[in-house]
Amino acid sequence: MTDKTPYRERSATRRLVYGGLGAVIFFGIGSLIYDFGLFSWMTGTRTVLSESEQHLKTATQARRQLEEERTARRDNPDAPAPAQPTGEAGYFVPPGDEELPDGPFGESVERGREIFRNTGTNAGEFVGNDLSCANCHLDTGKRENSAPMWAAAIQYPAFRGKNQMVNTMEDRVNGCFTYSMNAQDSEHGDAPPPGHQVYKDLQSYFYWLADGAALNEDLPGRGYPSVEETDQGYDWQRGQQVFTDNCAACHGIDGQGQQDLNGRTIFPPLWGPGSYNWGAGMHRINTAAGFIQANMPLGKPNSLTDQEAWDVAAYINSFPRPADPRQTDKMDVSTADERFHEGSINYYGDTLHGVLLGEGITQERWERFLRTAPFHEPGVD
Amino acid sequence: MLAKRWPIAVSAIVVIISLGWLVARYGNDSSVSDAAEPSLEKAAVANPLTDPLYADSLGEIAAKANPENISDIVSADRGDSWACASCHGGQGQGAGSVPRLAGLPAGYITKQLHDYADGRRLNDNMQHVVSSLSDEDMAALGAYYSRLEAPGDTQPQLGGNIERGRTLALEGDWAIDVPACFSCHGSSGWGVGQSFPSLAGQHSSYTYIQLANWNNGKRNNSPIQLMRDIAQKLSDSDMRSVADFMATLSPPQTLGITRTSDDGSRTEVEIP
């Protein structure tokens, strides 16, 4: 009995020391595992995918499935038709760069994409303003609800009320150059002539983007969404505040956009001589409201209320811009208003800020307007 | 019996101490956001009308400032006021988590100094530094550093995926509503106007910390919360990748380039 107590005591101390050491070692290992995120690796479950990785995974799978289903159908005509590749958010998934074909067609696609991205540099002789296709069709024409090209490519040829004829995709793009890109003020003085390489390259790009989409399908995300009409209607005066708070940081309080040190337009002008003309779809307040709500401010889609979207769309379309090229010298603004602008929501033909909207821009008129403009231009007191 | 129990008591104490240490170490994030809370409120009530154009108006002031009066502030330690150069380097080149200031827009720099002073951007060193600066000093410092040109010697240091960084910079990641960084920061990441700083040739640790700070609220100062919204969508590895990519690029060069000056006029910059 007498030598039992010291034995016990020693064992208690030793147990404590071992226990303590063990705890420290386990704790050390534990924090290492935590710090280096090894837990999921040890248990075999991959770390939770980030949102971006999840999207990419779904998109890649959808494209791969399309490829597999095509192959299956090639081997067996009775196999079901390939499904349209669809991403996490339910929108069509265009091909990625890894699917870009080699050879002349792939080269044409790439040229088309560069024209789309940087129109002033790559199709400069037909561009009469400071815009690029990609300014209004974000993510180089791939963004849903930003009039994506994968949705447009499968809709033409089609009859268009705007020019009362069947339009091929070339005709449609000709319209973009004529109005949105204001080709009348370009070096060439007009949109590219029929059959021009610019059309071919752009069409190659669009056709390639739509790979896997069914012809004539009305794909979700096509065009710009429409914004519900509000009780208060639209009002450019209310829009001025919305513009100052949400748009002016990029587009400038004078709406004339900004260029970078390389002279590249980074933020496009929204009115004035460098913007789209009175024939462009974006001059319609409802169209602009839809584009803006779904896409602006950049990186903050759908952050404006319906009312704010209507009002700010009215604001940017309440200022002078280049004339509608259909309104020739022989036609005055009110005739053009009746002929081309009736039945659409716009300020064409109204007199706002002391200017008859639609009469087009000359240097002298623009300077006169700037002197009385309702916005304060920084640096000009 | 007591002799048998005391190890249990000691273990209990050890466990409690360890828990305390754990909370102190990993509970950090919440204490940071607690600390940032008051400034979040402050930013919310800061004049929303002038805010988005703050850098533009400060840029106009900086264009008229006289950078000669601040040479002491830049390079001489004066007791409790530390010289900028002691941390940011003699050419404003920075290092590690201290940013390159050379070539950033004057309005942007001036705005950051005000943001530290007003608690919309938190950093102990910089908050101490700005406490002794007047509005005029800040404008003059903005003008001074905007005219310097830094050597382009930054290297990626965070082990990020450079290709992923390049994609974010040039294309964005639209699936998570992140536009191309360069669609705001300029076609080669050299900045735009007074509000959009250059990212090219910035130190990768610094860039990474800024993105992380927008996430945790220590930096709460971007116009229309543009950068907060973007940073919140980026994963940690995206932040490292894009920060590393920026460090592979050259900082803005002013030689022989048409430059939009502070008053908006565009001039051909002469080679000195």
Query: What local confidence, expressed as pLDDT, does residue B29 receive?
Result: 38
Band the pLDDT of B253: cuts 50, 70, 90: confident
Predicted structure pTM score: 0.84
Query: What local confidence, expressed as pLDDT, does residue A328 receive?
Result: 81
Query: What local confidence, expressed as pLDDT, does residue B22 receive?
Result: 55
**Mean pLDDT rounded to a whole number for chain A:** 91
More confident residue, A217 or A297: A297
> Smallest CA–CA separation between A381 and chain B, in Å?
12
| Domains of chain B listed by start with CATH number | 40-149 (1.10.760.10)
Arithmetic mean of pLDDT, A11-38: 82
Burial (CB < 10 A; 0-12, 13-18, 19+), residue A146, is buried
CA atoms within 13 A on the CB side of B246: 35
Query: What local confidence, expressed as pLDDT, does residue B254 receive?
Result: 64
**Strands A355-356 vs B178-179: parallel, antiparallel or unpaired:** unpaired
- B18 vs A266: CB contact, 8 Å cut-off? no
Closest residue in chain A to residue B8, using alpha carbons only = A16
- A264 vs B179: CB contact, 8 Å cut-off? no
- Top mean pLDDT of A27-31, B15-19, B36-40, B76-80 is at A27-31
Give the tens place of pLDDT for each residue, A339-350: 888 888 999 989
Give the tens place of pLDDT for each residue, B185-219: 999 999 999 999 999 999 999 999 999 999 998 99
Interface A-B, measured as beta-carbon pairs within 8 A, has a size of 132
For chain A, give the percent of residues with pLDDT over 90: 71
Specify the DSSP class assigned to residue A351.
E
Band the pLDDT of B256: cuts 50, 70, 90: very low
A35 pLDDT higher than 90: no
Band the pLDDT of A354: cuts 50, 70, 90: confident
Contact B189, B182 (CB under 8 A): yes
Beta-carbon contacts of residue A328 (< 8 Å; ≥ 6 apart): none
More confident residue, B104 or A48: B104
Q: Does B108 touch chain A (CB under 8 A)?
A: no
Q: How far apart are the C-alpha atoms of A129 and A268, rounded to whole Å? A: 10
Tokens of B40: 């979040």
A93 pLDDT higher than 50: yes
A1 pLDDT higher than 80: no
Q: Which residues of B touch A23 (CB under 8 A)?
A: 11, 14, 18
Nearest to B14 among A20, A53, A297 (CB): A20
For chain B, give the percent of residues with pLDDT over 70: 75
Nearest to B235 among A27, A50, A266 (CB): A50
Band the pLDDT of B221: cuts 50, 70, 90: very high
Nearest to A246 among B193, B224, B230 (CB): B224
Q: Which residues of A touch B257 (CB under 8 A)?
A: 261-262
Alpha helices by DSSP H, chain A: 4-35, 39-42, 51-75, 103-117, 119-122, 133-136, 138-141, 149-152, 169-175, 197-209, 236-246, 248-251, 285-295, 306-316, 333-336, 363-372
A292 pLDDT higher than 90: yes
Query: What local confidence, expressed as pLDDT, does residue B48 receive?
Result: 42
Query: What local confidence, expressed as pLDDT, does residue A331 receive?
Result: 85
What are the backbone dihedrals phi and psi of residue A267, each rounded to the nearest 5 degrees, phi first? -115, 115
Closest CA to A207 of A264, A150, A246, A258: A150
Arithmetic mean of pLDDT, B68-74: 86
> Smallest CA–CA separation between B72 and chain A, in Å?
30
Preferred mutation among B21, B28, B178, B183 to probe A, highest tally of A CBs within 10 A: B183
| Domains of chain A listed by start with CATH number | 97-209 (1.10.760.10), 236-371 (1.10.760.10)
Query: What local confidence, expressed as pLDDT, does residue B160 receive?
Result: 95
Query: What local confidence, expressed as pLDDT, does residue A6 receive?
Result: 54
Give the tens place of pLDDT for each residue, B43-54: 333 444 357 899
Give the tens place of pLDDT for each residue, A308-336: 999 999 999 999 999 999 988 788 888 88
Query: What local confidence, expressed as pLDDT, does residue B79 receive?
Result: 76
B173 pLDDT higher than 50: yes
Q: Does B149 touch chain A (CB under 8 A)?
A: no
Arithmetic mean of pLDDT, A238-259: 95
Arithmetic mean of pLDDT, B124-131: 94
Rounded to a whole number of angstroms, the CA Rg of chain A reads 30
